[in-house]
């Protein structure tokens, strides 16, 4: 088995405690990028990921956004599928009498109903600013324009988030992927696509000479689980979720200790 392509999650995996790329990570990726394709794979929106691509000098490689709902090769769309308008409205109805914040994402568009604590927090983390407008306006506009949500982020108090999560699991498990990235977060995307299936699609389209066994992937969270299991070498950072660690082929140091860079330096000297 020869590893030919490097794939890594971002938050909790590649970024340090300040949610930035360390000098060690930059040096390793800039050393390896001329020799190996490096693909960022994340629940983030493309514009946020492209900022990191520029810092890493890997803008010429594809990226996988929204947990696989959108695959881009620079400005070319390789795959694009999102949540239905009906589901979007259903989710708005579920949260109507709660304090849960809903963020709607389509490609590089991010809409929030208010510039509240949750919106400010996410903007700080991703270095992207949202458009503020009512959910009703966003849904009506997207319906007219035949746009779908590539991801919906639900943020709020843990008790309300848990109740919503159970609703989604009980009523929509066959339709959507809903995972708790934090106790106060639910990230929702389409059921038919996850990080593993997205990587398989990318290989078929862009790198048909290689298979999943040629990929080394790094991750930390539940949405990385299938990817770590299906690639040639799945590597979990030490801070990964307890349930994710045993699914990986190997473990490296934590994200705040430059775990991805340290492991790559050993595998690709």
pLDDT in tens, 123-169: 888 888 999 999 999 999 999 998 899 999 999 999 999 999 999 99
Model confidence over 88-106: pLDDT tens digits? 999 999 999 899 999 999 9
Q: Are residues 22 and 68 in the same domain?
A: yes
Q: Are residues 185 and 102 in the same domain?
A: yes
- We report the CATH number of the domain holding residue 145 as 3.30.1240.10
Q: Which two tokens stand for residue 78?
A: 């390789």
Rounded to the nearest 5°, which phi and psi values hold at 131?
-95, 130
Task: Give dist(CA 199, CA 61) in Å, integer.
Answer: 13
pLDDT of res. 220: 96
Q: Are residues 97 and 182 in the same domain?
A: yes
Nearest residue to 11 (alpha-carbon basis) of 236, 267, 221: 221
The sign of the CA dihedral 50, 52, 54, 56 is negative
User: Tokens 């400005």 correspond to what residue?
Assistant: 75
Q: Are residues 66 and 105 in the same domain?
A: no
Whether the model pTM is above 0.85: yes
Number of folded domains that form the chain: 2
């Amino acid at each position: 088995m020869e590893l030919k392509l490097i794939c890594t999650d971002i938050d909790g995996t590649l970024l340090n405690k300040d949610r930035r790329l360390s000098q060690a990570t930059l040096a390793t990726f800039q050393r390896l990028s001329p020799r190996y394709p490096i693909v960022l794979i994340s629940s983030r929106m493309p514009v946020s990921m492209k900022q990191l691509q520029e810092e890493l000098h890997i803008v010429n490689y594809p990226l996988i956004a929204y947990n696989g709902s959108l695959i881009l090769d620079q400005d070319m769309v390789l795959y694009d599928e999102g949540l239905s308008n009906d589901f979007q409205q259903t989710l708005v109805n579920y949260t109507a009498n709660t304090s849960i914040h809903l963020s709607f994402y389509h490609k590089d568009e991010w809409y929030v109903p208010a510039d509240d604590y949750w919106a400010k927090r996410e903007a700080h983390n991703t270095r992207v600013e949202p458009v503020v407008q009512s959910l009703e306006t966003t849904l009506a506009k997207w319906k007219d324009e035949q746009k779908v949500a590539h991801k919906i982020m639900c943020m709020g108090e843990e008790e309300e988030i848990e109740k919503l999560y159970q609703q989604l699991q009980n009523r929509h498990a066959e339709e959507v992927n809903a995972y708790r990235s934090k106790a106060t977060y639910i990230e929702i995307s389409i059921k038919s696509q996850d990080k593993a299936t997205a990587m398989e699609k990318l290989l078929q389209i862009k790198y048909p000479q290689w298979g999943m066994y040629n990929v080394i992937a790094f991750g930390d969270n539940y949405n990385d689980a299938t990817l770590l299991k299906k690639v040639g070498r799945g590597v979990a950072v030490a801070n990964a979720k307890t349930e994710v660690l045993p699914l990986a082929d190997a473990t490296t140091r934590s994200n705040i200790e430059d775990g991805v860079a340290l492991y790559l330096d050993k595998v690709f000297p």
